[in-house]
Amino acid sequence: GRKDAISTTIINFNNEKMQITWAAREQFPSKNVSFSYTFAEGKNKVWKPCPTYLLDQDYNSGCLFKTEGPTLAISIRNSNGSEELFSKTLKSDFYIKPNRPENVTFFWKADTVTVSCNKPERGVKCLTLELQYKSKFDEDWQSRTSKCCSVGEQGFDPRKCYSFRVRLKRLVPYCNVVNYSSDWAAETFWMNGTLLDSCDDDIKSHSNTVTVLSCLLAVLLVMLILLILLCKWQRLQKSVMPAIPDPKYIFADLFNDHNGNFQEWIDETDHAMVQTKLEYEEPECIIEAESQQEDEKNCDKQEPQEKIFSFSRAAENNDPKAAEIACLMPTSNTIASFAGFQILMNDDMYVML
């Protein structure tokens, strides 16, 4: 019973090296032990001593040796080998732990990633390839497993940085009695098909982009404030100190046509004014005495529709405008002259001329 009660851990590293360990301090307190093994079958077994011991506080706690066949027999004895404390026979192929994947490649297409590695020389049918990944927003790893030696996954966001790691696993219970997996291959960092040193680079680039945009917005805001202040300053300056008009724009013909020669410009201006006065002629209005007398007679005979008052003051003043108005007024109107003013009376409306 004691020989079967000792707990051991058996690992066959890629069918190349065997490692047998036991809890020395708990199972063999204050006692050192020796280890021997054999891959031979039958009665003619040749036991080999452990070539390399693993120690736990100077006590033998394990042995490391080369894998030489599929069937393994082990024996743990006291320090001088006279007494056997534990023995066991097992199939070494059921304890294989594969090596980590070699030459791992990543292929990106849109949101799909395909990871592959080199096929091991032996036991490919007993292996699966496991892919784990997570983004900087994920707390736990996401896992995907496929047959050796390629695995693919969809749904990757090209704007996120992802961490990837892969390993090989032995199938249980068809190939292994223990669920052994290889060590993880080197962790890599990818973003939209681009290999990065770490996802911290993505965070730094994102922070740098935010910093640049913040600076640009700050500069634009300062420029806008300065523009508003400039406009208000110009308004204040115009209200406090009005701008002196430039005679260059008021007297454009003086500077453009006469190159600033004032005398030449004033002479031409006076000549134009004289010509304008000569061309203008006051319209004549001939007041005939006879016509006026005939109208007065007609007015005496008929019901008075029109009363014409004295224009003597206008005549004395030789006011041609008044005379012109008197000639042009219709007969239905009443015209009066008072104190040098002409008054046009038409029904209820009075107009002083």
Inter-residue long-range contacts of 233-240, CB under 8 Å, 24+ positions, other chains counted: none
User: 218 Cβ partners below 8 Å, 6+ apart?
Assistant: none
- Angle at alpha carbon of residue 218, lines to 214 and 220, rounded to 5°: 120
Q: What is the pLDDT of residue 285?
A: 52
Q: What is the pLDDT of residue 22?
A: 92
* Tokens of residue 116, six digits: 């592959």
CB 333 within 8 A of CB 344: yes
Q: Which domains does the chain have, with CATH numbers?
A: 8-96 (2.60.40.10), 98-196 (2.60.40.10)
HSE-up of residue 181 (Cα within 13 Å, Cβ side): 13
3-class DSSP assignment, residue 105: strand
Q: What is the pLDDT of residue 272?
A: 57
E strand or H helix that includes residue 333? none
Q: What is the pLDDT of residue 133?
A: 93
Alpha helices in the chain (DSSP H): 2-5, 24-27, 199-240, 247-250, 252-256, 262-279, 289-301, 312-316, 320-328
Nearest residue to 343 (alpha-carbon basis) of 314, 305, 302, 300: 314
Report d(CA 336, CA 107) in Å as an integer. Answer: 112
Q: What is the pLDDT of residue 330?
A: 46
Longest dimension (CA), the chain: 179
CB 113 within 8 A of CB 142: no
Q: What is the pLDDT of residue 9?
A: 93
> The pTM is what?
0.55
Averaged pLDDT, groups of 10, the chain, 353 residues long: 71 94 86 92 86 91 94 91 88 94 91 91 91 90 92 89 94 91 93 86 57 86 87 74 60 66 71 53 51 53 44 45 45 45 47 47
